[in-house]
Structure 1
Amino acid sequence: MAPSYALLAKEAIVLLDKFSAGRQFLDDFIEDASKDLQNMDTLQKKFILDIVSGCAEQNKLLDAVINVFYGHNGKCISRGDRSQFAIICYLAIFALDDIGLQHFSKIVKSLDINKMHTFLDFFFTNLTTWIQEEWNTIYDAAYVEKHWIGPLLRWRPEINIFLDQLSLKISQGTQTKKAPAKTTEPKEFSLTKPKPSALPLPEFIPQQEKCKPVPSSTYRPPKEIQMIEEIKQKNHQKTEELLYEANMKQFRCGNMQKSEHTKKVVSQIREDFDSKLKFNSFQSSRCPSRKKTNNWPIKLNSAAILRQGALFDRQAEEELQRMERLVEGGREPSSFLHWQKEMRERDLQEELAAVERRRLEGRISYEEAAMARTHLMERNQKTAQLKKEETAELMRKYAEKRLQEEKEMRGLVQQVAEGHKNSKAAKERIQKFKQSIVKEVSEQSRELLRQALEEAQAELSRKFEIIYEIRAIESLPHDRVKNFDDTQTAGHDLLGEMSLCELRERLTLLKDKQQAEQQEKRVQILEEKQNKKQMLLEQLDTNDLHSRALAQAASIRREERKSRLGIRQVVPQDETVLALQRKLEEKQQERQRLRQIESQRSKTSEQAASQSVADTRNRKEKTWEEVELILEHHIQMETPHVVL
């Protein structure tokens, strides 16, 4: 395609002239142009259409340069060359890095050299002055500086060399055109020869007037097409999201482990059950436990499954290579391995001794913590006993104080009861006066209510009459004619005009077609997913077989190592371990002694507590009997005339 850049540029100029001459949408024009260019190569057609669509989209950017250029050089350059300047300007701004300076120079040389030299010289001379300012008013200044001004300034030295070559070529062309002036040679008059008759002028052919284009208000494309495209785009996006989600969460049915929700529910139940069993967990102190290894099942994705399969294949290949080396006469590093096993055995013995020491130290610390907790409980019991004695003393004083207050209240109640006898007659007179006032007020209010009821009934009857009249008017029949035919068109005599029924039918067919396409895509996606799932299941079976074989080999090696090293033998009893054991026995004996003392104290404290409870119960019964007697006497003094 490289040698035909000049022809492609000329074809693009012709298309741009057609687009600027007519008033139509860019997408429709590009579709028509692509149909006209079907015989061309795909890359060539793409190059032409990209240039035309780019010039139309960046019209403001190109007009900012070309309009000012015509303002400076409009007298010597015709307006018909505007498309040439637009395409050259677009290629220089947006496509110079892609096509290169060599092809750009060929395109320029294929056009009018004088005009192209004038335009390029004008463009690159004023690039960083007013052209940049005009572009900054249209786009962001930082974007213009980074994407357009910067690349053009990098090409500027090579463009200047190319412009010098063009100017040299123009000067050579003008010198060849200027031929040397010839001297006039006189000739004799030939009077005998008649003049030839002049040819008749051709008659003027009247040109047909251009028809006015149809205004945009006459016909507008229906909105249903745009709505269909939007729905199609949303469905496509939703399909991609579902496909991505299916790829991320696939093979869930092949996974034998529990789901995340089930694990959460089981863990919550276990935590609730454990929390019910932890009564005094804040006081407990246990031996430091060993490090637990949790062998939880791992959910593998497709990449992890394939990676694991590749690892097993590589291990099998390495094992085969090792066997081949042994068959060919290779040797194993047995001496080093024997020394390494001895060192490991020694380290294991030392580690077992250290583990035993740590265990004994933990037991000793546990016994010490238990004894400290016992001492703390004794101290707390003593403090609680003192608090109980102080509380009992305070309660006794409070009971005595309450008895004294009850005696004082009894005297006050007697004094008040004597004063109430004189006030009963005054209360009866006031009650009779109030009853007379209430009787008069009730008679007046009854008269007012009767008048208000008569007025409300009259108003209600008037409203009912108005409602009857309105309903009678509404019940009169009136014609409702609806003459609308779905199968008839509006009658605008347009090419694409159709009736409502035809529009619904076409939309239904289009919807059925889209649903069929979506169903085909869905079936294809499911088939691909099923194939991938089957492949991964086979890989999982292979990986499981390899892992079982490796686990079996590892268990065999572990048993052999245990039998050789004697892991189950008794840990050597060194001096530190023996000393720790003796210390542990002493702590245990001391703790047992404290436990016996505590049991004896608890028995004595229980006996004393039972005795104190009985005493307090007797005191409470006496105080409650006295309080009941006081309340009964108080009630009798307040209501002396009530018959029980």
Structure 2
Amino acid sequence: MLSYKELLRICIEALNIFSPDDQSVEEFIKDFLKRRPGLNDDDHTFIVEVLSGCFEFRKVIKVVVDGFHVLDGRNSLASDTNLFNVLCYLILFRLDELGMSHMKKFIQSQDVNKMYKFLRFFLSEANLDTWIYSEWCKEYDSQYVQEKIMLPLIRWKPQLDEHVEYLRAVVENRIPLKKTDVPLTNPQPFNITKPKPRGVPMPDKIPKLTRHKPVPEHLYRQPKEIENLARIREENRQKAEEFLLETESDQFKCANAEKSTRANMVMNRIREEEEAKLNFNKRHSQPIPKSMTQNRPIKMNAAAILREGALFRKKEGEELVKLEKLLDGAKDASEFESWQQKKLEKDRKQKETDLERKRMQGKLSREEAIIARQRKAKENQEKVTEMKMETAEMMQEFLTLRMEEEDQMRSLVEEIMAGHENTKIVKERLKEYKRKLVQDVNAQSRELMKQALEDAEAEMRRKIELIQEIRAMESIPINRNKLVDLTATAGHALLSEMSIVELRERLSLLKEEKKAVEEQRRDANIQEKQAKNDRLMENLACISVHRREMTKAAAMKAKQQSELADRQKRDLESDENLQKLKKQLEDKKAERLKLSRELEVKPTPSSATRTRKLLKERKQQETTRWRQLESSQMRLAKLRAGNLSSVPTRDKSNRGTAIIT
């Protein structure tokens, strides 16, 4: 089985040596394959099919490949033409048989830059759907081209475009190359002589363990965690009821969005004071010009005037043609337009009623969903109570398992303590071995460092000698002055050779000729500008007339639209189905509010008194805590003041001792 690259190479070699004038296609393929006897059946079939297909559809393939060489492949080699022919044939006629995986392997076996450039040109919609399709239709029937060539290519085009993007990423070095996995080294055990079995040593005496303490009695009692959890649960419930009472009695400050009258008065006074500060240069200020407050027409440029004038002239021509047709006896389309307008109005009314009905149905379904959610919440509350009972039972089972595990761990610790005494001797031997190994490694590293320093010194001496030789060669002076004669030629023996003086004279003559041509162009431009201004004035007059008529038509249209909106509103209010849906929606809202009132938590008188007591206790705790904080801060301040007062005296005493010494 040959590789993908080898198969493409054989096909390209056959296309390169084929001559249609000397031999037929069948004979050439037979003779070519006789010279390659080592091919198996699959490779033989592939080469025969590709060569016969390239010869049969050479007109279709030639359109793509020749266009590529003319447009995008100017720098591509002529030897790559048959490579592009084979790939074009495989994509157009054999992609269904090969599959995308084999096609990718054929493409990746060649140079990435060549493949990306050719496939980007071939699969581009700007080329494939325009001139390539038209050239194929010149050679074959359009139906054959559409069914046999275009449809399979369009079906595979998304996957081909994806592979083209992958090639683009490879060309731009955005995909890292895959690293080949190096096989790991499998260590083999050393062939060491097995030691002889040792004699069984005498067993050591089993040490007698100290008598263990008896199991404490608190392990058989119920743990305090369960009582703490019940107490915390009751406190959380009381806090929730207390918070509920606070929210019902006190309103949030953010609920009242309006400011008070006093706040508004203060804000107005501050605003007036800030504005009064800006009147320092009032007598020098100037009023806003009227041109800034009035609506001025927008000044149009020449392109806009010509474009709008051409549009209005086109509309005038269309109206004249329509009037001429009416004079000749053509039928007026006003009846059809009125009938069409009535139908459109009817369809619009039906559409609006359907939209309103769907909106009401959506609101109705929302209410039903809220009711179902509330019922689900009620069911969840019942499930929570059941789960709490189950968790209590599981907690009891967990405690029993915990006691059993503690007994097992206690026995395991006693066994480990007995085995720790034998590990000390092994640790001391290991430390001695590591110490000797470190000493050997340090000696070897010192020898290697000494050898490296000697090599570096020899290399440095050689570089210094080489630099001295180069500097001595550069110090020799060189004369680089050269005399120039502007009247003499360079002496290259060319037909158009001239001196610099002659060149300057010719350039001055060319400048005078260019100046005369510019004067002629300037006169022609002035005449063209005058004619253009005349045309613009004519177009402006036409535009002003048409705009006046368009404003009148827009006013009439706005009036009709307002009347139409009023009529639509009356039609929606008179629809019976919508009224029924509104009634159903109100019923569902009432049912939802009823369920929400049932799910609300209502405090009892006993819980209310308990929450009041808790509020009072919490306030007392806060006051005591603040008093403690204040007292602690006062103590810290006194201590700091005492430390600061003692610092200068210590400095003075130190200074006095220094003077005495």
TM norm structure 1: 0.32
Q: Larger radius of gyration, structure 1 or 2?
A: 1
Q: Provide TM-score, normalisation by structure 2.
A: 0.32
